[in-house]
Amino acid sequence: MTLAHGTDRLESARLVLRRIAPDDLPFFTRIHALPEVAQYLYPGGRPRSPEASAAWLRATLEGYEQLALGYLAVLRKDDGTLVGRCGLMDLVVESAAPEHGIRKGWFGDAQAPAGVALTFECELGYTFDPAAWGQGFATEAVRCVRDYARDVLRLSYAISAILPQNTRSRRVAERCGVRAAGQMEVVGLTWDRYVWPLATGGAARLRPASTK
């Protein structure tokens, strides 16, 4: 794998991971609308509309200015076909578990409440075209991003939030060495929380835990 600090491109044996571009919108609009993809991503498993996918892509492009990595488009090297996305996104969680229930989290800082002790983390997420499932691409891309987070960003750990019924994503994470760490509530859904142990002595994210 090729890694360089500040790069917007990662490579593995079969894949290139690069920043998402405006021309990628048709691909993401298509997979966001597939029920077999949407059921593991959105409240109620509702497919995203084209307008919602366009808004997601705009936010993704804008986020590159703030994020350590962000989502990257995943392409097959042999023919340049776009097969999915994988990357690191901001995750904010309650620092302490409530007396009743599970900890809450938010993807990004904007929705997190004021006056609550928060821990700022990175979430390693991945979504692939069903046409590419079962070929090991997700595992290969995830290992690329995991190694970048460990060796270049020097994060001490990352998190993956996976819905309990998403056995395919859980198997990918387990093959790459995660450990189960309870559950959390994000966007109104209960997610299984998995921890990726990374660099000894690193940070959870490129900013400290704090109270907002």
Confidence of residue 149 (pLDDT cuts 50, 70, 90): very high
pLDDT at residue 67 is higher than 90: no
Q: For residues 89-101, give the mean pLDDT.
A: 85
Residue 12 near residue 176, CB atoms below 8 Å: no
Instruction: Residue count of the chain, please give it.
Output: 212
The predicted model scores a pTM of 0.88
Residue 144 near residue 12, CB atoms below 8 Å: yes
Confidence of residue 206 (pLDDT cuts 50, 70, 90): low
For 2, 38, 40, 53, 159, the CA distances from 44, given in Å and listed in that order, are 39, 9, 9, 17, 23
9-211 CATH? 3.40.630.30
pLDDT at residue 83 is higher than 90: yes
Distance CA 72, CA 81 (A): 14
